[in-house]
Amino acid sequence: MPWLASEGPLAYTPEEPPAKDCFFQYSWILPKIFDPEENLRNHFYFGIRYKHGAKFLFQFWERARKGHAHQNVCKLGLLATKEVKAPIAAYHHVLEPGSKWGSLLIQHGSYQWIDLQSQPHIERGQVLLYRGIERASAFRYLWLEPEKFSPFNLEIWRKYLTLQAQMLSDSVLSFNTIHDRTKRAETSHLRDGTWLSDELARQIGLDIDSPGFARNLWAATHQSYSLEPWVAKHKFGPHYVVLKPPLSNIRLTTFFAGEAEARVIDPTLLRIVEAVGCRLESAVPYA
């Protein structure tokens, strides 16, 4: 679910918010997302080290208590044999009175606030992803045609979707697997360098270590995109690409990890919108 429950009714929603902010004290409600060496007596509201850094989230939930939570879209997720969709919700939220409108995205304890100019298609259930490639001349992407897969590659694809469903089926596991590669100063108190998802892939029988389809698919799903164009244009640019997947096809890192980072679940659902300063190169279609 978009907030914290992995199944059954939610403990709270923006439409039915908790009465007190103590419900956002993650070292109480999500202790397993933190580094084992971390002192959990510290207060990590929304998972961040310093409470003032989450001011915009306290403001959002205070407005929700007053009945001012306005939902853009809510996807409850889907775990099926041939399809996996992530749970995610988006709400209108102004950071400060008189400032720009934006969308507050919520997914398994992670939050991202995004300017609506960067994400104009949220209400239609679509999102723009930006990826900078510095001065490289080509953006290489994995082109897949599941309906033409050989029996061998189809089995790899099924295992991959099963693993994605597994990682999304539990809030703590979801949070830990999407942050297992972040490894930044802002996330050092989390389980942020575990590469946990690799361990789970090997356990399920995905050969992500040998050359071939499984490893290429695994590399594609761990490509990092941003929800904000400035990250691609200025931090990792000047060459960049813009892609559009369904909103329910992305997984979020939380706001204090920086770079408004997201990753894609199903690469077959990516649509290329624009390539700036570079050409597009697809891998030989897997069949």
Q: Is residue 287 a part of any domain in this protein?
A: no
Under a CB-based contact definition with an 8 Å cutoff, are residues 282 and 143 in contact?
yes
Render pLDDT for 78-99 as a digit per residue (tens, 0 to 9): 777 678 899 999 999 988 766 7
Q: Is residue 86 a part of any domain in this protein?
A: yes
Contacts of 257 (CB under 8 A, 6+ apart): 179, 182, 184, 186, 187
Instruction: State what percent of residues in the chain have pLDDT above 90.
Output: 71
Could you list the residue range(s) of the whole structural domain that residue 133 is in?
Answer: 21-282
Q: How sure is the predictor about 100, in pLDDT bands with cuts at 50, 70 and 90?
A: confident
Q: Is residue 130 a part of any domain in this protein?
A: yes
Q: What is the pTM of this model?
A: 0.92
pLDDT at residue 5 in the model: 45
Lookup: tokens for 279: 């050409």
Q: Is residue 103 a part of any domain in this protein?
A: yes
Phi-psi label, residue 224: left if phi above 0, alpha if psi -120 to 50, beta otherwise = beta
Under a CB-based contact definition with an 8 Å cutoff, are residues 242 and 230 in contact?
no
Number of domains in the chain: 1
Question: What's the CA gap between 214 and 81, in Å, rounded?
Answer: 18
Q: Is residue 16 a part of any domain in this protein?
A: no
Render pLDDT for 4-54 as a digit per residue (tens, 0 to 9): 444 455 567 888 888 888 889 999 888 999 999 999 999 999 999 999 999
Tell me the residue type at 78: L
Question: What's the CA gap between 154 and 167, in Å, rounded?
Answer: 20
Closest CA to 176 of 188, 192, 189, 154: 192
Lookup: tokens for 23: 């419900």
Contacts of 251 (CB under 8 A, 6+ apart): 86, 107, 168, 174, 178, 262, 263, 264, 265
Q: Is residue 89 a part of any domain in this protein?
A: yes
User: CA angle 265-181-22, nearest 5°?
Assistant: 90
Under a CB-based contact definition with an 8 Å cutoff, are residues 60 and 45 in contact?
no
Torsion, Cα 233 139 128 33, to 10 degrees, reads -90
> How many CB atoms sit inside 10 A of residue 68's CB?
13
Question: What's the CA gap between 282 and 287, in Å, rounded?
Answer: 14
Lookup: tokens for 46: 């929304």
Taking the alpha carbons of 95, 32, 172, 21 in that order, is the dihedral positive or negative?
negative
Q: Is residue 3 a part of any domain in this protein?
A: no
**Helices 196-204 & 151-168 angle (0-180, nearest 10):** 130
Render pLDDT for 221-279 as a digit per residue (tens, 0 to 9): 999 999 999 999 999 999 999 999 999 999 999 999 999 999 999 998 999 999 999 99
Task: Please give the DSSP secondary-structure letter assigned to residue 44.
Answer: -
Q: Is residue 83 a part of any domain in this protein?
A: yes
Average the pLDDT over 160-167 and give the result.
Answer: 93
Under a CB-based contact definition with an 8 Å cutoff, are residues 210 and 253 in contact?
no
Under a CB-based contact definition with an 8 Å cutoff, are residues 271 and 252 in contact?
no
From 74-83, 134-143, 149-158, 240-249, the region with the lowest mean pLDDT = 74-83
